[in-house]
Amino acid sequence: MVGGVAFLYYTAEQYVAAIYFARGVNEFSVVGNVDGALQQMNQAVTLNRDNDTYYRSLAQVGLTKVQLIVNAANTAQNPNLLNDFQAAVSNAISYGQQATQINPNDSLNWATLGFVYQSLVPFIEGSEGAALSAYDKALEFDPKNPAHEFSRASTYMALSDRAQLRLNQAGLTPQVTEALTKQRTESLENARISLEKSIQLKPDYAQANYLLAQVLIRQGNLALAIQQVEAVRPLAPFDIGVAFQLGVLYYQANDFAKAEGEFMRAISINDSYSNARYFLGLLFDRKGEKTKAIGQFKHIETFNPDNQEVKRIIANLESGKAALAGISPPAPPPTERRAPPVPEASGSGNESGVGQ
């Protein structure tokens, strides 16, 4: 009788925990309430501390909390910003670690912990090592999964970006510059190696092929990067990002006819894809087709009415000048910017970077 009562009590706790967890998922996925989701999911793990799925989900929601704090740092004054950030980071890591402790043989738990640390690479030195170690454990239990090598490569890319960001700062000593340059170079090469391993496991892995092209671009191998994205195209014929990326690569290689074809393909997938239209406008201007060029930038302006660069380009074209007259230089050319020339706007369909 005592055993039966204990079993019923345990079963009831499991049931209530599942209800709290479902509410948390709804708060996060449907309502978009991160704090509410954390509250409900923490109630679930209070009642059921042996469910690694709950902790994995908490880790992912916890990362969103970290990102919200980072985003708010640029828009609002928060005297507790550092404390809030540290607490959110600590919680996200703790949730991921709890999952691996409950079930250390599940590669998904290690992959989740790795992603937590990978997401912190831009902010916290040393997190890259923890991320790579976690992904190594994931590979140990799931060696045939190409996603784990892809995640390792993504960590190296984040490390490369962090090094490049610091290199862009003024006042660095020659020794620091040399160390950061070495770190960036080694990170890119390690990313390339991991991506090639991922593609060996799954040759049609579009994300890995696409990221490998990005690595090759940064390593200065434009021809091989084009080959890589060309290999991705038949695997993802309706991926607007692939079309745009390949168009930019052709543009960089001065193969303007092929570039125009890819940008046209991009807007056939999404007619309001502003960044593809931006480069189409430049190509039409290059050919002396001013009316067509103006048409492209006017179309962009409908979705980006406050974009001053687009307004200036239209004014240049209407006065017979080159599209980028007085814009680039002094600003970098569009293909060398670290963000798309047209920032994402409502209805613009912008989803991809320039690939630099």
- Those residues whose C-beta lies under 8 Å from the C-beta of residue 10, and which sit 6 or more positions away, are none
User: Can you name the CATH fold of 7-73+80-143?
Assistant: 1.25.40
Residue 344 has pLDDT above 70, yes or no: no
Query: What's the farthest any 2 CA atoms get from each other in the chain?
Result: 92
The CATH code that applies to domain 237-356 is 1.25.40.10
Q: How do residues 73-120 score in pLDDT, each as one tens digit?
A: 777 677 788 899 999 999 999 999 999 999 999 999 999 999 999 999
Question: What pLDDT does 350 receive?
Answer: 44
Provide the residue ranges of all domains of the chain, joining segments of one domain with +.
7-73+80-143, 144-221, 237-356
- Those residues whose C-beta lies under 8 Å from the C-beta of residue 301, and which sit 6 or more positions away, are 307, 310, 311, 314
Same fold, 7-73+80-143 and 237-356: yes
Q: How do residues 298-330 score in pLDDT, each as one tens digit?
A: 999 999 998 999 999 999 999 999 999 999 888
Contacts 24+ apart (CB under 8 A), 290-294: 290/317, 290/320, 293/317, 293/323, 294/318
Q: How do residues 37-75 score in pLDDT, each as one tens digit?
A: 999 999 999 999 999 999 999 999 999 999 999 888 777
Give the pTM: 0.76
CA separation for the pair 300, 324 (Å, rounded): 15
Q: How do residues 162-214 score in pLDDT, each as one tens digit?
A: 999 999 998 999 999 999 999 999 999 999 999 999 999 998 787 888 889 88
